[in-house]
Structure 1
Amino acid sequence: MTKPSVVIVGSGAGASVAAWALSTAGHPVTILEKGRNLWRGLGDKRGLGPSLFSNDEIKAGRYFENPDPLLEPRTARTQDEAKSGTARSYVGDVNGLPTTVGGGTIHWDAKTPRFWKQDFKGRSLYGPYPDANVADWPISYEDLAPFYDEVERRLGVQGDVASMPARTLEQAPRSGPFPMAPNPMMYAGQLLAEGAKSLGYTAYPFPMAVNSRTYAGRPPCNSCGFCSGWGCPIHARGGAAVSFLHDALIAGAQLESRAFVHRIDLDRAGKKAVGVSYIDAGGARRRHAADIVVVAASAIETARLALLSNLPDRSGQLGRNLMFHYFTVAGALFSEDVHAWMGPSTTFTIDDFMGPDAGGAAAAAGLPYLKGGICEVGGTIGAPPITEAALYTSAPNGWGVPLKVLMREAAFRRYVAGMSMVGEDLPQLGNRVDLDPDIRDVYGFPVARVTHSAHRHEVVASEYYGPKMAAVAAA
């Protein structure tokens, strides 16, 4: 008996995992991806060839893997602007994730921390939050744990359970070791880890989908220094394309790139998805019928597609509660070359700022608690070479011999290292995606309009955890 057919919109992390699971289970699967395919040999049993996107600053600066902000812009405004009737205050690149086969993991940092138990039950554990829409998840950590195990095996995640803090293992218990031992630790990270330890914090090897040895036919990381924000030229980094989509295509899934899906097609009753309508690479309008439709086009584009399709919105929540990340950065200037740019972005992390922290700064701000986030320890906060050169040449007398001296000295790359804390926005009804009433993309469809303002929590939390991070950098 033939299994139900599936069409998947998107080819990033969620889409590629779905394609792999469904195709290996025998379902006919078609993947429609709006972006280009930059992977040579994807789906070829002989193996992957080099990616067309790797450590090339020129390509990165020209939106090589991202949407062209002129042809496919987004618009943005703040919540206050929305209340005052402002349609938009910006047109261009708004939270532009890669639009390409493999999605954001084509250039991701490959860090793979797990959600904690407390993340699933924020409302019931800590109560409501003023001006935010905090809610419990309908699933628990225990529900996800076996899937975490499987995804880590597929990606090839390195780590060291023995060095992880007790609270981390209590909040995110593991059934066994990581698939691989950690990479050699970056020198800058070792220095900052010592500073963290002197202040009572625990730095440990950051779990990441980067090979420390040959794994799944892919070579170990060579610490080239172009990792976060870049493609991996040797495929030492796991991701959606190399770890899932490649095998999905070998199992029989079909991939069509440069296919812009603009509508989810419903049955006559308007209650069941029966396929999608899209524009192919040649500009022809096509329809793909399927028994099952999976939409995995990122938070913004998934909401946009649902709105373009006029899907029912009985809850009034469609496109709302859009969450980004807030970043807090601390840096240190060393008197020696700490090689902060050599390695897989960062190799240490600390979880001591995860929170929630009640009282103190939270109470002073009239907030119930503060939450920080995961902290990347020891990476560069400088710029890659071409960007660094542009910084120097923007100053008077920045060309010629002075430029050569500065580039050879490379202070930003050699002597500066830091920490970056990645926290989550609180969900707010006013942070949302809708359709811009006036701006259209190159295909003639309304673009996504992002309305977003930081909650007071993010501002206060950054001010609270920032000095703690600075103390680590200075220790």
Structure 2
Amino acid sequence: MSERAADVCIVGMGAAGGIAAYVLATQGLEVVGLEAGPAWTNSDFPWDELTAFNFRNTLGKIFNNTAPTWRRREGMPAGPATFSLGRMMNGVGGGDIHFGAWSRRFMPGDFTALSDTLRRYGAEALPQGSALADWPLTYEDLEPYYDRVEYALGVSGIACNIRGQEPSANGNPFEGMRSRPYPLPPLRPYPLGERFREAARRRGYHPYTVPAAIISQDYDGRPACTYCGWCSGYGCYNGAKSSTLVTVIPKALKTGNLDLRPYCRVVRVESQGDQARGVTYLDEEGQVHFQPARVVVLAAYTWENVRLLLLSSSRSFPNGLSNNHGQVGKYFMTRQFPEVAGLFPDFPMDKFRGPVAQAVAIDDLNGDNFDHTGLGFLRGGTIGTENQIQPIQAASQVPPDVPRWGRRYREFILTHWNHITYLRAQPEPLPYKMNFLDLDPVVKDDLSQPVIRITYDLYPNELRLIDFLQDRMEELMREMGAVRTWRGPRETGVASCHDLGGARMGKDPKESVVDRYQRSHEVPNLYILGGCTFPTATGTNPTETIQALAWMSAEHIAHELR
């Protein structure tokens, strides 16, 4: 069945697709938004730890059926992928319904990592096999779009570097210059965060309150956060978390220019020559439809964007759409989340009293904000502490010498469950030629299509960086007053919710898939939005940058179609 042609067809109505739909619809273009999952409402999100993305992931049933496989090196057999944080979900609003809502901009130096490294340390500092790169745009190019995203969604935070003003003492001194403050003040302070802040300052660091995509006050018709604590891993019961489900998508629908279709699962992008014609999708009843469009936008998660490209081969693209230079799937990057836990017998944490985005962090050790000479690694990562805990998580916080069952375990948990916390790092993984995505030749999904196979391993640069950050976290824990500390594993999973690369952005079509506007080099009416286009991972949460890029791309599409 063929549908009426649209100006733009967006595949995936989540963090990126929702932004793009809003920008395009408000500029008068006819947009079809196809989403594999349902159109959720706030009442659909239970406070049930077993349903969360760390466990059964009941909001991501399609994702569960299409989860990738993993092997460390080429030539090895693949098995199930392991997960650091949680799994993605399906539905209008996408993963930013249940994400942790840390909403941070990349630093200016994140966009120039290669040239900065060469200038400061020389080419000999680059690890063998790595493919560190500069982005084809700068922080200054993206700053206006960061600003628009923060005000459209409602981000709460303290700005440090506002143009024409003195820096704020409580903001992040490493952030780039900003056009204006955040639209909302930060989430309220909490005891553990203030303890970390004081300890970090004593160690010479510059702690700041993490900006959050959660509204601290009533904003744009939505009620403020109530600090219920059921946030990361869950949908928000009152809409205070600023997902696209409750912010820009309703506004796009009000224009009358967005045709939003839930339960529509795209299986292929159709092309003719070097042009995308539209997409083939299955509706809720399994009926096959073809949606033609002048422009096709892939805005699903990293793995699904790459998978659709590889599945959409044709006579013009025998190895997958936009893959005639063999770049689709290359340079995959994923985040490890190493931790250091600490025991504070006389300090109740009470972390159940707020969300994960109620957090304090330092960027002194992120990017190239410190001298790496002689350290044996490049780049860095954020260190921070955060709120939120549920019973199963609390019951798993035990040191290595305490058994996981029995009387001794029970006594330890009853005594200490509210006196243990962790510091967590977000180390930056470098891109490597050896880490990539392709189609698994054996494992199929519920539609008998191959799932993505991840080939990924940690290399010496990343292992040394993780050791360095865990050393610093142990120092901070002791400064905070911990009587005992213990480390979590270096390797926390090959999937992390910060899964990036596979459709790299760049200037050279022989070395990248898309240009600065996330437009395919080989298929000029195909745009690919999301973390898959990132040339580097940085040590910062990717969501706000994904959304700022989506806004810029959507404006470019609108300009091209006028």
TM-score past 0.5 threshold:
yes
2:105 equivalent to 1:114? yes
Question: What is the match of residue 373 of structure 1?
Answer: 381
2:290 alignment partner, SS class = strand
2:155 alignment partner, SS class = coil
2:63 equivalent to 1:72? no
2:130 equivalent to 1:126? no
CA distance, structure 1, for counterparts of residue 27 and residue 237 of structure 2:
31
- Cα contact 1:277–1:285 (8 A) shared by 2: yes
Question: In structure 1, which of residues 92, 99, 105 is the aligned counterpart of residue 90 of structure 2?
Answer: 99
- Cα contact 1:73–1:92 (8 A) shared by 2: no
CA distance, structure 2, for counterparts of residue 244 and residue 260 of structure 1:
22
CA distance, structure 2, for counterparts of residue 474 and residue 92 of structure 1:
31
Q: 1:110 to 1:359 in 2, by over 3 A?
A: closer
Question: In structure 2, which of residues 342, 353, 361 is the aligned counterpart of residue 349 of structure 1?
Answer: 361
2:44 equivalent to 1:52? yes
- Aligned residue runs from structure 1 range 419-434, under 5 A: 419-434=423-438
CA distance, structure 2, for counterparts of residue 53 and residue 430 of structure 1:
39
Q: Which stretch of the first structure deviates more once superposed, 300-309 or 198-207?
A: 198-207
2:279 equivalent to 1:276? yes
CA distance, structure 1, for counterparts of residue 67 and residue 366 of structure 2:
34
Question: What is the match of residue 156 of structure 2?
Answer: 158
- Cα contact 1:74–1:92 (8 A) shared by 2: no
- Cα contact 1:3–1:27 (8 A) shared by 2: no
Question: What is the match of residue 46 of structure 1?
Answer: none
Q: 1:312 to 1:217 in 2, by over 3 A?
A: closer
Q: 1:107 to 1:87 in 2, by over 3 A?
A: same
CA distance, structure 1, for counterparts of residue 170 and residue 63 of structure 2:
42
Q: 1:3 to 1:34 in 2, by over 3 A?
A: closer
Task: Give the letter for the 2:332 counterpart.
Answer: L
Q: 1:166 to 1:17 in 2, by over 3 A?
A: closer
* CA drift at 1:69: 7.0
* CA drift at 1:3: 11
* CA drift at 1:247: 1.5
2:22 equivalent to 1:20? yes
* CA drift at 1:167: 4.0
- Aligned residue runs from structure 1 range 381-392, under 5 A: 384-388=390-394
- Cα contact 2:26–2:255 (8 A) shared by 1: yes
2:224 equivalent to 1:220? yes
User: Per-residue displacement from partner, 1:339-365 (whole Å, max 9, x unpaired)?
Assistant: 223222133121111142444552xx3
CA distance, structure 1, for counterparts of residue 61 and residue 130 of structure 2:
31
User: Per-residue displacement from partner, 1:33-72 (whole Å, max 9, x unpaired)?
Assistant: 1123222xxxxxxxxxx24124221322322112457633
Task: Give the letter for the 1:157 counterpart.
Answer: V
- How many equivalent residue pairs? 443
CA distance, structure 2, for counterparts of residue 120 and residue 281 of structure 1:
41
TM-score between both structures, scaled by the size of structure 1: 0.87
Question: What is the match of residue 266 of structure 2?
Answer: 261
User: Per-residue displacement from partner, 1:294-343 (whole Å, max 9, x unpaired)?
Assistant: 00112111010000002142332111111111223223222221222322
- Cα contact 2:158–2:171 (8 A) shared by 1: no
CA distance, structure 1, for counterparts of residue 43 and residue 11 of structure 2:
22
CA distance, structure 2, for counterparts of residue 359 and residue 389 of structure 1:
38
2:41 equivalent to 1:88? no
Q: Which runs of 5+ in 1 are unaligned?
A: 40-49
- Aligned residue runs from structure 1 range 195-234, under 5 A: 195-234=199-238
* CA drift at 1:141: 0.6
Task: Give the letter for the 2:351 counterpart.
Answer: A
* CA drift at 1:228: 1.7
Question: What is the match of residue 186 of structure 1?
Answer: 190
Q: Which stretch of the first structure deviates more once superposed, 62-71 or 91-100?
A: 91-100
Q: 1:391 to 1:125 in 2, by over 3 A?
A: closer
2:277 alignment partner, SS class = strand
User: Per-residue displacement from partner, 1:110-166 (whole Å, max 9, x unpaired)?
Assistant: 111111111111111112522211111111111100001100001111112223467
CA distance, structure 1, for counterparts of residue 285 and residue 254 of structure 2:
26
Question: What is the match of residue 289 of structure 1?
Answer: 292
- Cα contact 1:192–1:378 (8 A) shared by 2: no
Task: Give the letter for the 1:207 counterpart.
Answer: P
CA distance, structure 2, for counterparts of residue 230 and residue 59 of structure 1:
8
Q: Which runs of 5+ in 2 are unaligned?
A: 160-167, 314-320, 480-562
2:338 alignment partner, SS class = strand
CA distance, structure 1, for counterparts of residue 415 and residue 462 of structure 2:
33
Question: What is the match of residue 418 of structure 1?
Answer: 422
* CA drift at 1:289: 0.8
1:236 alignment partner, SS class = coil
